[in-house]
Chains A and B, each alone.
Chain A
């Protein structure tokens, strides 16, 4: 009597499994498609939202050196300049620091330092941007204004990059924003460098040490060259983070979109100008601000793709999956 029941339930169960699997496949596909749609919608909205302005001005939008919302003159160049300059300062300051920390922790430092220092550096990544901005404005800016920038101006003022003849030193400015950004990207760079140095095969380091090199020489001549692609990727990833960082910069840069090489003076970045002006902008200005968003999106897109390609190449060479 058992046979017929089996025959009747088996195909039915098989059908149920098939249906459940189909639904499961469809549901996960929906999740993946949603993710895709979000990216496409962002790109679409940025292009169509800014087209009225970008399409009208053409390349003049990107190369125009004058941003004056009340006169409806929209040139993106000052904010692009501010973005690149702050990010460059950040990468020089924070990027090198991040690489140095990780190289030191992985190879040179005593073992017991590795965990606590890594933990603290990672903690830096967990602190919201707005708190960096608040701290920067309340503590760092007054200190820099009184203690550091006057000295910097008197020593390096002749280069033209650090203060001009008759501009007062306010403390807010491109250099301040760049320095804080630098601190903010340290954890990103340090984490990638750490991982990249840890995947270098131990045999390579041991071989170098066996040939009589000391730890520093093994690090500089063997391990870092092996992982250099990934470390560069980490630096570029940090650069991408610096380009898009909004709140800390907004509170520290002074938000004055002018084209100037004075690092102690105010400037503006793409993100900071959008953050401060978007909510109560006129329709035309809002269109132009979305255009700035489009520029920012393209920058970060290109940079992230490049960085992840570099990191993935090192991982694959070391036999790890992407």
Chain B
């Protein structure tokens, strides 16, 4: 089967080009048209087949393990059956929540600076650095958390939150900048005309008008960093116990999936897949909420 494909695809391509070369102009145009449709459909299939298989695998393998015990019990030592991911769920909530507490205000302020306040080369420099930060590999955010916090205070959830917030800030800054920018200038001018200053105008007029777009951007950013593993491996480190203090090492959903997937025992692999299912559920719920919000609060100012 595969061998047929390996030989067949080059042969078919050769036949196609041969046919192109010998056929008259009108047929050649039709052949090209047909080939373009074929390539487009193939492309769509290449993208969607892995998606379907992946979701199918995670749901079918993960669903049997998704029970009350999984949600309310902490992880067992490697190789032991039973237990759940309660510690990881708590960890994800604490780490991502803390990251949002650091990242959201900074991101929104930076976005406001870019659209409302800053001008000239300094604003351009900030915009450039924001783009740099958007493309930052998540593992480097982990190194940042390690060198800044772990080297001084030891492995802690706080270091992980800090690393995640570095990934959140540029996303939120960009979303805020774009959302605020499409607020019509007349609204601002009306506000200034009534005697309001820049702060009052932004706070009472511009931000409410842009609120829904900013909120959806924040949710998107939270969903994105909620699935990140790389920044947490050597900052939050992981912990089988249920921990609430951000100064201690802590597990998180993606982290628990990663460590369990690396164990040689079947029970751990099963747990990891169930954890992956939970992660997919969480992220798709966030995404649905995001899309619903975006649809419901379409900016009424075109």
Binding site for B on A (CB under 8 A): 17-18, 20-21, 23-25, 27-32, 34-36, 38-39, 41-42, 45-46, 49, 93, 96-101, 103-105, 108-109, 117, 120-121, 123-124, 126-135, 137-139, 147-148, 151-152, 154-156, 183, 186-187, 190, 214-217, 219-220, 237, 240-241, 243-247, 251, 271, 274-275, 278-279, 290, 293, 296-297, 300-301, 303-305, 308, 321
Contact = CB atoms under 8 A, between A and B. Distances in A.
Contacts of A251: 258, 261
B144 A41 contact: yes
B110 interface: yes
Contacts of B113: 28-29, 31-32
Given A120-B51, A293-B143, A246 B132 contact: no
Contacts of A101: 40, 43-44, 47
A104 B37 contact: yes
B69 interface: no
B108 A20 contact: no
Nearest to B30: A214
B136 A130 contact: no
A127 B197 contact: no
Interface stretch (B13-21, B81-89, B210-218, B276-284): B276-284
B136 to A, nearest CB: 7
Interface stretch (B52-60, B72-80, B239-247, B294-302): B52-60
Nearest to A246: B230
B109 A27 contact: yes
Contacts of B125: 36
Contact of B144 (A42, A123, A129): A42
Given A35-B129, A36-B125, A278-B234, A108 B139 contact: no
A244 B126 contact: no
A104 B50 CA distance: 19
A152 B9 CA distance: 13
B interface, how many residues as a size bin?
35 or more
Interface string B196-213: 111110110000000000
Nearest to A272: B139
B289 interface: no
A95 B203 CA distance: 43
A135 B54 contact: yes
14 contacts: A20-B197, A32-B109, A35-B106, A98-B43, A104-B39, A121-B48, A124-B47, A126-B227, A130-B229, A244-B135, A246-B230, A278-B234, A297-B140, A304-B132
Given A39-B129, A108-B40, A155 B3 contact: yes
B54 A132 contact: yes
B94 interface: no
Given A190-B47, A247-B229, A275-B230, A152 B58 contact: no
Interface of B: 1-3, 6-7, 29, 32-33, 36-37, 39-44, 46-48, 50-51, 53-54, 57-58, 61, 105-114, 116-118, 123, 125-126, 128-140, 142-144, 146-148, 166, 169-170, 173, 181, 195-200, 202-203, 223-224, 227-230, 233-234, 237, 254, 257-258, 261, 269, 272-273, 276, 279-280, 283-284, 287
B54 A34 contact: no
A31 B109 contact: yes
A279 B138 contact: no
The winner among B50, B111, B227 for most chain A CB atoms within 10 A is: B50
Given A17-B196, A39-B133, A155-B6, A130 B110 contact: no
B109 A128 contact: no
B253 to A, nearest CB: 9
Chain A at the B interface: SS class: helix
Given A28-B109, A31-B105, A279-B233, A305 B43 contact: no
A210 B48 CA distance: 35
B66 to A, nearest CB: 15
A35 to B, nearest CB: 5
B3 A151 contact: yes
Contact of A34 (B1, B106, B136): B106
A120 to B, nearest CB: 6
Given A20-B197, A104-B43, A131-B276, A31 B230 contact: no
Given A35-B110, A128-B228, A138-B273, A24 B202 contact: yes
Nearest to A271: B139
Given A35-B110, A251-B261, A279-B237, A155 B139 contact: no
A219 B143 contact: no
Given A45-B148, A131-B54, A152-B6, A21 B197 contact: yes
